Amino acid sequence: MTPATDPTDEVAAQLAALRAQVEGSVCCPLGATRTRLVFGEGDPHADLMFVGEAPGYHEDQQGRPFVGQAGKLLEQLLASIGLTRERVYIANVLKCRPPNNRDPLPAEVAACEPYLWRQIELIQPRVICSLGNHATKLLSGRPYGITRVHGKPQLVRLGERQVYLYPIFHPAAALYTPKMLTTLKEDFARLPEVLELPLPSAEEEALGSLSAQGDDGGGADRQPPLRPPQEESEALTLAVQPDAPEAPAPPPVARQSPAPLSAAPEAPAPRPAGPLPVAPAREESVAPPAGSDAGTDTDQAGARVGEQLGLF
């Protein structure tokens, strides 16, 4: 029985309740133009979560994330490290398709992001792979684009927990550009190593030894608004209230033991030289690069390049 169909799986049940809430709400104008909501899918207990930008045409039609050409590439990349989409969780910043696949507007991100925070809070992944600029900037809480930060795991605090954020190029953008595709494959090949990185224990967090806190720490300190924007279901009242830090901690989310993620025998060898460096926390003095960041959905043109590269 898969976790999604297990009636005793509390996380799956809470995700389903959240999905129903989002389905029943129109919290920004995109809700009125969507064909279907694209909530997200996968293992509710996944160690590895992917966050893309927004549904495209095919996702909007099917109500599932990453089912177009970019999704095919994502599945191939997953297979290259011995995983399938069923063993990870895949979501987007936006749950509804922007018209003509335009970039998400800040107001749309603001309206939708509480649902993503809640998904993360429920799933409790060890590693979140942000795909492209929009997801990376939102999850890191920093303006640095994907060209600058890709392939560098960052320890970030999301609500009550720390998690490794591992930004990589968006598969749709990589379909356009062979060089970007090469980099995406290299970054992806290191994911098994990132999944092995130790997360700080509660004691270490308190001592700050591995913590992301502090100006010279090892990652970003992100306090996302975990509260949903509209009415609160019973499940949603468990969310952390960011503007009431003195409130008691929410009850722990029941967590089953997922099968450990493991690399396939044919997975590429880890980088030979030393441990995987974790990106430094603070980079305020350095301006983000102008104009060079990729991250938009480019499925159709990307598919042509994908064909030329023999991907499909």
Minimum CB distance to ligand URA smaller for 125 or for 132? 132
Q: How far is the CB of 70 from ligand URA (least distance, A)?
A: 5
Burial of 254 (0-12, 13-18, 19+ CB in 10 A): exposed
Residue for token pair 């960011």: 242
Q: Where are the beta strands (DSSP E) in the chain?
A: 41-42, 48-52, 89-92, 127-130, 154-158, 161-165, 221-222
Q: Does 56 bind ligand URA (CB under 6 A)?
A: yes
Q: How far is the CB of 50 from ligand URA (least distance, A)?
A: 9
Distance CA 143, CA 134 (A): 10
| Residue number, nearest CB to ligand URA | 52
Q: Does 172 bind ligand URA (CB under 6 A)?
A: yes
Torsion of CA 84, 88, 94, 99, to 10 degrees: 0
Q: Does 53 bind ligand URA (CB under 6 A)?
A: yes
Please pick, from the candidates 39, 50, 66, 117, the single residue that binds ligand URA as defined by CB under 6 A.
66
Minimum CB distance to ligand URA smaller for 96 or for 158? 96
Q: How far is the CB of 92 from ligand URA (least distance, A)?
A: 5
Q: How far is the CB of 72 from ligand URA (least distance, A)?
A: 11
Burial 68-83 (b: 16+ CB within 10 A, else e): bbbbbbbbebbebbeb
Please pick, from the candidates 3, 42, 44, 55, the single residue that binds ligand URA as defined by CB under 6 A.
55
Q: Does 54 bind ligand URA (CB under 6 A)?
A: yes
Distance CA 295, CA 300 (A): 14
Q: How far is the CB of 297 from ligand URA (least distance, A)?
A: 4
Tell me which residues touch ligand URA (CB under 6 A). Answer: 52-56, 59, 65-66, 68, 70, 92, 172, 297
